[in-house]
Structure formats: C-alpha cells, structure tokens
Amino acid sequence: MIQPAQPELVTVFIDGQEIAVPKGTNVIEAARMVGTDVPHYCYHPKLSIAGNCRMCLIELGMPMTDRATREPIMDEATGKQKINWIPRPQIGCGTTVAPGMHVKTQSPMVKECREGVMEFLLINHPLDCPICDQAGECKLQEQATGYGRGYSRFIEQKNVKPKRTRLGPRVTLDDERCVLCSRCIRFTQEVAKDDVLGFVDRGSYSTLTCYPGKELENNYSLNTVDICPVGALTSTDFRFKMRVWFLKQTNSICPESSVGVNTVVWSREGVIYRITPRRNDEVNDTWMPDSGRVLYKEVQAENRLQPTGDPASDLLATATRLLQGGAVAVVGSGRSSLEEQFLTAKLARQLHAATFVVGRTGAGDGILISADRNPNTRGALVTGLISEVPGDLAALGREIDAGKVKTVVSVGEDLSAAGLTAEQLAKVAIVYLGSHANATSAAAQVVFPTLTVFEKSGSFINQQFRLQKFASAVPGLTGATDDRVVLDQLVTAVGGESAGSDLVSVWRELAAGIPGLADLTYAKIPDTGLLLADDTWSQLTFPEGESLHHQPAAAETTA
C-alpha cells in the first residue's frame, strides 16, 4: 500500500484556537477540524466554490506587519503580534487558509450577518415544512432555528414560483423552496457532465429551470436531490413516503457494479425507503448512480423466492443425497459476499467439484458504474473460488453434454441466463440457493430461499481491491435463510468441518486460511474500506475501464 504524501500544513487560529491544517483548505473545512460549524448553503466539499449564498460569512484577520520594514507590529499590552482585522466580513468557503490567519466564527458581527442572510432567505420562503420532504434534514430549517427571527417583518405578498415541476423522470422541483445556491447546477456541470440546469430571471424572480426541451435524466440526477440544502429538489420515488426522522440508517455497499459505492440504507420497521450515497473520498466521493438507488425494491419483489413449506431438514437431506452422488459442479457468484464465496469454495473443495463463476459485464459509464457488474469478482479471486477473470459457463455446458457433471450447485446464479440451454439444465440435478425466482430455480430439484444484500451482512472487494463491509438493514424474509448458514450446512452435510456460519467464525477461518486477510476480523474493516495487496492478480486483465478514483493497472503503465 502506498501512503499518500504528507500534505504541507498551515497554522491558523479559529476563534483563538490554534490548528495546523493542510495547505489549500478553506475556512469552513478548517473550522470543521476544530469542531466549529460554519453554516453554509452553496459550499459543497466536492464541487467548485460559488460563494453566492453568503451564509458562511466570518471575520478574518492577519498578523500586522509594518508596510515598509515588514517587521511584525507587537501589541505592548499582550506582547503578541497585533491582528489586523478586516473591517468587513469575508466568506469562509472562498477563503483559503494562510499562515497565521485569524478567524472569528462567533463574533457579534458574524452572528448579525447570519441573521441578516436568514431573514432575506426566509422573506419569500413558503410555509411548507409540514409537507416538505426535506424537513428534518433541511439546512434552512436548522439555520432558522439558530439564526432565524421567529417571525416575519415582510408584509408584502410573497413571490410565487412554479411548484411541482417535473425536472426529469426521477426528480421533482419546487422552485419556491430553492435558495439559489447553484449546487445542483454545478453538480450537473462538473460531475455528471450533463449541463441541463440553470437559473432564469433576476433578483427574487430567479428560478431554477431545465434547458428547454431537455430533462434532468442522467443516471446521476438524484445526487442533486441529496446535495440540495433545502427541499427544492425532491426524489419522485421517495416523495411523501416517510419522514426522514423515522428512518434507521445502515451502512451498506451498492451491489450494482465492482465500483462498490458506499451507501446508507434508510429503513423503518423492516421496510427500506431509500438509499443514499455515503461519503468515501477514495471510492465514490459523495455520489452514487440513480440505478443503484432502486435496488432495494428487490427485497419486496414479486418474484422473491418464498419458502415452500417443506421442513428445512428435508431440503437439506435431498440436497445432501444429490451432492453425495458425485460428479458435482459448483457455480459460485460474483454477487455473493466474500464470506459466502469462501464457504462456496470450501464446499467445492469438500466435494472435489469444479468451480465456476459467472462473469457479468456491461458498459461502464466512467464515473461510478464499471464494466464488471459483479460487485465481488475480486472476492472470488481472493477466496480461491476461481483463479481467472470469470467469463461464461460454456465449459460447464460442455461437461454437462459430456455427462461428466450430474449435479450443479448454483449460488444465486441463473444458469440459463448465463448461457446454459434448457436441455443442459434438464440433464443435471440442480441445487439452487437464491433470493429470487428464475429459470434455474424453476428447474432446480432443491431450492433454498436466501437473503438479499440488504438483509444480510458481509463484505465485498471492489475493483481497487478495497475490502468494504455492509450490514443488514432489515430483517430477512420469513423462512429465508442466510446464504452463509445454508452453505455451512451443506459443507457439514457432505462431511466437512464447520467452524460456525456466523461472521466472527467465518472471519476466523478467513484470516487463518487466506494470507492477504491475516489478522483481520469483520469488525476491524473500517467504514471506508481497507485496501488489499493485489500483486497476485496483476497479470489478469479485468474488464473495468477508468472511473472515478480508479485507474486500471494496464492504463496506468501505458500512461
């Protein structure tokens, strides 16, 4: 692992408190480091600085020096260098720290500035909080509590602006609530590279609109909803579904592709309401694709595999009989967690079975969707389930045709979608573990209903060989069993040693059995992931192209 170069530090004084911050930091971030919040709307750490909301005003001073001699001017009384305070407030977001800089974030002038900005922002703001989806996570509400007047001195008619505008298939806009911070505009320009939003009209008539004839329909449109500090941009899917203060937040990883976007799953009483990105500066910054946000719908999908009513012991007995018949092939999955892949590999070793993993590729978008649509291909390599980049199941098909395979264990993979014909499926007995019904589960002799990624805990290894963990957000479907438990039962049923199927036990085995994971436990994986050494697989060619924070190795050497 290469350590990043130590940044050059600059010493500044925030409200008298001395702190060394990296060069280039702005005052808002520097204040954050001493635990002081400088309220702001337009500033966003991952976007350019616009400096238009004026909420972040602070007082700024520099140590005084004599203009002619450059000698420091000392204060007789304190014996310290005098501070030259700028008489007017400055914006914190647009001010980069300089050595010796002094900042006041709590002075009377700063407080008055904030109150003034708030009063102007609230002049035309609608009384919508009871029906506004942002309530509870609204910056304007928060700052109104801190710096609001509590009543309005504005006796004229409030402005009216379009409410309920459809900006795109997934985003609804309420212009009256917009505080004109331009975060959404900068996002579409700078990150999504789909410059469709802009302001029209002037002054208090300024209105956010979409370019005529266009829509905000790129696959990153919902990030504008996340970064909108108020309830102007709302998610059409989440609109009016639930108040955010009821929702429980669980850290998760998006299974959409090998990028491994860090997410937060928001649920209440076992029902998931939305998925939002979680900041990870090494992986997804603060963004995620729209397509990954709807994946929670698979938890309550129509085609969810329901328990058949047969006792679990019967299922296990039938499966065991099939597996003990020999000539078994195991189809693992790049969608399974690292722990499940490890148990899959263990089962295959116990059965002396050949292992396969289905490759799943699509076009990468160069941002946060990669070409490899398996979230955990690297996991299959690390656990030794496979040693090559996975492709299709042609080899398995040939072995079935040759009669060398009689039973196939599939861990959540639809074999017909992966290229096996119905005749080939008919020739073998199938043991299927999966969460949703498909052609393979229909053809299978034994079906174990298992859990979706939102109902179980585990870890994935993304395209950077970063080990990242996800936790179960909602309880599993009644009657469905955790994949880990089923795999462990199968291992034991065919004569293998079980060390337990819980995360702690599986990780004990993982740490003991896999050199790259020595000394690790599930609990030790940091929230932002852990980069693993990837030298063993540097010869392989992976399908991923370049994306945010990822340069494929091959591209690196040629570049």
Partner 1 sequence: MSFKTVERKPLSFAERTYVPQILGGLKTTFKKMVKPNETLEYPEARPTIPPGYRGVPTLVKDPNGREKCVSCQLCEFVCPPKAIRIKPGEIPADDPTAHVEKAPQEFDIDMLRCIYCGLCQEVCPEEAIWLQNVFSLSGYTREEMVNNKAKLYELGGTLPDDHYKWDKKKAAEEAGNGGH
Contact at 8 Å (CB) between 223 and 191? yes
Binding mask 336-375 for partner 1 (x = CB under 8 A): ----------------------------------------
Least Å from the CB of residue 313 to ligand SF4: 47
Specify which residues 102 forms β-bridges with: 13, 61
Nearest to 254 by CA among 283, 228, 218: 283
Quote the CA–CA distance of 205 and 40 in Å, as a whole number. Answer: 22
Of 238-246, 253-261, 358-366, 433-441, the window that binds partner 1 (rule: CB under 8 A) is: 238-246
How far, in Å, CA of 468 to CA of 375, rounded? Answer: 11
Cβ proximity of 464 and 531 under 8 Å: yes
Using rule CB under 6 A, residue 367 touches ligand FES: no
Dihedral (Cα; 304, 305, 311, 314), 10-degree rounding: -160
Rounded Cα distance between 257 and 119, Å, is 45
Taking CB under 6 A as the binding criterion, the range among 121-129, 266-274, 298-306, 387-395 that sits at the site for ligand SF4 is 121-129
C-alpha closest to that of 276 among 284, 288, 268, 285: 288
Residue 16 or 130: the one with the smaller Cβ distance to partner 1 is 130
Which of ligand FES, ligand SF4, partner 1, none binds 104 (CB below 5-8 Å, type-dependent)? Answer: none
Q: Does 129 bind partner 1 (CB under 8 A)?
A: yes
* 114 touches ligand FES (CB under 6 A): no
Binds 10, which of ligand FES, ligand SF4, partner 1, none (CB < 5 to 8 A, cut-off by type)?
Answer: none
Provide φ and ψ at 157, rounded to 5°.
Answer: -65, 140
Q: Is 73 an interacting residue with respect to partner 1 (CB under 8 A)?
A: no
d(CA 292, CA 294): 6
Give the Cα separation of 554 and 545 in Å (integer). Answer: 10
- Please say which residue, 39 or 529, places its beta carbon nearer to ligand FES: 39
- Using CB under 6 A as the binding rule, the residues of this chain from 231 to 270 that contact ligand SF4 are 231-233
Q: Which of residues 191-230 bind ligand SF4 (CB under 6 A)?
A: 208, 228-230
Contact flag: residue 545 with ligand FES (CB under 6 A): no
Q: Does 461 bind ligand SF4 (CB under 6 A)?
A: no
Which of 43, 220, 296, 507 binds ligand FES (CB under 6 A)? It is 43
Q: Does 91 bind ligand FES (CB under 6 A)?
A: yes
**Dihedral angle of Cα 68, 69, 73, 79, to the nearest 10 degrees:** -170
Cβ-contact 35, 92 below 8 angstroms = no
In this structure, are residues 161 and 207 in contact, taking their beta carbons and an 8 Å threshold? yes
Q: Which residues bind partner 1 (CB under 8 A)?
A: 126-127, 129-131, 135, 156-160, 163-164, 205, 239-243, 245-246
Q: Which residues bind ligand SF4 (CB under 6 A)?
A: 125, 128-130, 132, 134-135, 138, 140-141, 177-184, 208, 228-233
